[in-house]
A and B are shown apart, each in its own frame.
Chain A
Amino acid sequence: MPDLKKILYAEDEPDIREIATMALETIGGFEVTTCISGEFVVDTARTFQPDLVLLDVMMPGVDGPGAMAALRQTPEFRNTPVVFMTAKVMTNELARFRQLGALGVITKPFDPVTLSDQIRQIWADHHGND
């Protein structure tokens, strides 16, 4: 199983972005780079080369699924794992996100204390299935 170190995180809400980033960095020990919208995901990914991309589903402009589609169209990120974050009420659409090829979905409001563990679990599940 490859190491999970670098996470690219797109989220439009600045406070949520900061808390998640702090949680991932301080509790999870990950290296995190953030985008404020889906449209910067591919460009940022080019310079940052993330192991995993964490995308908020609802963002103005290019949303989570949009950003994922853009990644998939870029050859070097065709297989980069993607995890979505979405509101609990949207869990009905879980199946749709899986279909899009997401590794997993983290429901909001998330618990920052366990966020890193959740991501590690998804990562492990994914690589366990390989």
Chain B
Amino acid sequence: MAEIGSTKDPLARRRVLSHWAVGLGTIAIFLFTRGIPTPAGQFQVTLESGVATWAAVVIGALALVRYYSRQDIIYLLIGAGFLGTACLEAFHALAVAGGLGSALPSSTESQIRWSWLASRLILSIMLTLSYVAWSLDKRFGMRARPRDRWVFALVIVLTGACLLVSALAPSPPPFFPDQFVSSPAEYAPAAFFAMALVGYLVKGGWRTEGFEHWLVLALILGFVDEALVVPSADQPYDFTYMMGYVLKIIGNVLVLIGLMTDIFQTFQREKSASDRTQAVVNNIVDGVITIDHRGIIQSANTSVERIFGYSQDEILGQKVMILAAEPYRSAHDSYIANYLATGKPKIIGTGREVVGMRRDGETFPMDLTVTKLWVGKDRLFLGVVRDLSERTEMDRMKNEFVSTVSHELRTPLTSIRGSLGMIATMNSGNIPGPIMRMIELAERNTERLINLVNDLLDMEKIQAGEMKLRAIEINIELLVEKAIEANRPYTQQFGATIRLTSSASSAEVLGDPDRLTQVLENLLSNAAKYSPQGGVIDVSVAMDGARVHVSIKDTGAGIPVEFQNRIFQRFTQADSSDTRVKGGTGLGLSISKAIVEIHGGAIGFESEEGKGSTFFFHLPISGYSG
């Protein structure tokens, strides 16, 4: 409260001035007009009571609306208080108008005086309690907050009791015209108004909040009215008597103004908050779309217009599939339907690359992430769309760069390996042992670099869709036998042996023997690398319907579970330290997968940690030989 609350704040200073002006002004008017006769009569008083009644009803209703929309406890007590007051005001208006006549046991004079007192008392008590409830809220939190129904019950009991007393008790009016103070009972509401006034001044909300400022003004008027004006009004319809009524109406109007100001400010705040949210959403580079469970677009941000080329008007209310290209266009409905039916998200919650279609029919790669939302009771799907065309172009340039660099690396690597090879061969007898070992080390690592470069080039070709394959009838069993033979020395390095069982000796596939050999060599060398000393690698070739199934089973350490779903990704090895121990580029399996898939087959594995892994692939057979 320090800075804003201090009277250095010009708004607060103006408000303090207005408090003094209203308080002192009212007292001055009272003093200067005391006892002046007026032409007013019963009619004016009835009218004023009627106006005060309606004002109290409206205030009560608005305050309760505020309470239920903002859950600020003071509005509950203020609203209930004004509604209770309104009942007594109505009774008072009827009494003043003489409408109750002699139907009731109490005298009209009694009814008028007691109902006035009761209505002012209930209002002032409830306003004081509203401050008390706020300070309890502040000190103890929500758990100290009274339930709505208790507050209403309290008001109903108080109001009912007051009505009964004013209407039925044949008590004399609390009015003593002969004494210095003719209505001393009015000091009771005056005391409560004073307490409420002090409470709200201490609370300090008047410095910044529109409503509380007007409430403080109304409390000042209420206090002056009950402490000064009403107790001194002993002549019906003179200026002071009428002033009592007018001040009550003005007080009510001030509270009403406060409520209106508050509602207006809240409305503006909410509007600017929603404008701000909209501005944020519109300035996101990604397209943000919400769709309902039928796939109808409910909202789209500016980026959606930019990415897809549709205007807001064209896109809202349309099916979201108009933004997708085939095959996603046909599939999209079933995604949502499936999801709603099975609860199994296919695209929900994960990003995936799909093909989008712009208004002009141009298709482009996009990343789509769909999230399920609940807005109230409505289920919505939030789609975030990123245009990948630029990234795809970047990818292409990156691949081209990798390819160029790899090509450039080959020539110097060839020279290095050639030189090392010749040194080792031509001078093998004359080179001292340690130097020979260094030469071998250099040779082995050059070999690794060359393999890496070759793998990189293969990878680049696969990604660019440029891997050209020959299509030759191949006897798969012979191919596997050859690959095993070629790989045998390598396997022996690791102390492992290979065993082949085949039940598909005549199966033929249509494919590129070099590339399929590359797959086999990769799987065989992996099996050898990860085999324990003396391990047996079981290779099997078998028919599986119209496919031939090749599997390579090792008895190594197996693949850690957390690594299994990344096994076919590029540059992956279960343990990065493996690269050093086992050699290899981490590209082999992803290249193998691509090769097998280009052949119309599939590759997979089963692995159990500590027991070994089985890698397998199958290829469609083209016929039988022999």
Q: Which residue of A lies closest to B411 (CB)?
A: A13
B422–A112 touching, CB < 8 Å: yes
- Judge if A47 is at the interface, Cβ distance under 8 Å: no
A113–B422 touching, CB < 8 Å: yes
Q: Which residue of A lies closest to B514 (CB)?
A: A91
Flag B508-524 by CB within 8 Å of A: 1 or 0 each: 00000010000000000
- Judge if A100 is at the interface, Cβ distance under 8 Å: no
CA distance A15 to B411 in the complex (A): 9
- Judge if A4 is at the interface, Cβ distance under 8 Å: no
Contacts of A1 in B (CB 8 A): none
B414–A16 touching, CB < 8 Å: yes
**Stretch from A20-28, A36-44, A62-70, A122-130 contacting the other chain:** A20-28
- Judge if A110 is at the interface, Cβ distance under 8 Å: yes
Number of interface residues of A (CB under 8 A): 20
When the two chains form the complex, which single residue of A23, A26, A88 contacts B454, counting CB atoms closer than 8 Å? A88
A19–B426 touching, CB < 8 Å: no
A residues 7-36 near B (Cβ < 8 Å) are: 13, 15-16, 19-20, 22-23, 26-27
A27–B418 touching, CB < 8 Å: no
When the two chains form the complex, which single residue of A26, A27, A92, A110 contacts B414, counting CB atoms closer than 8 Å? A110
Interface residues of A, dominant DSSP: helix
Contacts of B514 in A (CB 8 A): 91
B414–A109 touching, CB < 8 Å: yes
CA distance A26 to B427 in the complex (A): 12
A16–B411 touching, CB < 8 Å: yes
CA distance A23 to B424 in the complex (A): 12
Q: Which residue of B lies closest to A91 (CB)?
A: B514
CB distance from A53 to the nearest CB of B (A): 20
B418–A112 touching, CB < 8 Å: yes
Number of interface residues of B (CB under 8 A): 23
CA distance A22 to B419 in the complex (A): 9
A27–B422 touching, CB < 8 Å: yes
B422–A20 touching, CB < 8 Å: no
- Judge if B468 is at the interface, Cβ distance under 8 Å: yes
CA distance A76 to B415 in the complex (A): 34
Q: Which residue of B lies closest to A112 (CB)?
A: B418
CB distance from A32 to the nearest CB of B (A): 14
When the two chains form the complex, which single residue of A89, A91, A110 contacts B418, counting CB atoms closer than 8 Å? A110
- Judge if B457 is at the interface, Cβ distance under 8 Å: yes
CA distance A32 to B421 in the complex (A): 20
CA distance A108 to B411 in the complex (A): 9
A108–B414 touching, CB < 8 Å: yes
Known contacts A89-B461, A92-B468, A109-B450; A22/B422 CB under 8 A: yes
B418–A87 touching, CB < 8 Å: no
B422–A23 touching, CB < 8 Å: yes
When the two chains form the complex, which single residue of B425, B450, B457, B461 contacts A113, counting CB atoms closer than 8 Å? B425
Can you show 5 pairs from A to B with CB atoms below 8 A apart? A23-B418, A89-B458, A109-B410, A109-B417, A112-B419
> A15-B415, A92-B468, A111-B421 are known contacts; what are 6 more A-B pairs with Cβ within 8 Å?
A13-B411, A15-B411, A16-B414, A87-B410, A89-B458, A112-B418
Interface set of A (CB-CB < 8 Å, partner B):
13, 15-16, 19-20, 22-23, 26-27, 87-89, 91-92, 108-113
9 tightest CB-CB pairs across the interface, nearest first? A109-B414, A19-B418, A15-B415, A112-B418, A113-B425, A113-B421, A92-B468, A112-B422, A13-B411
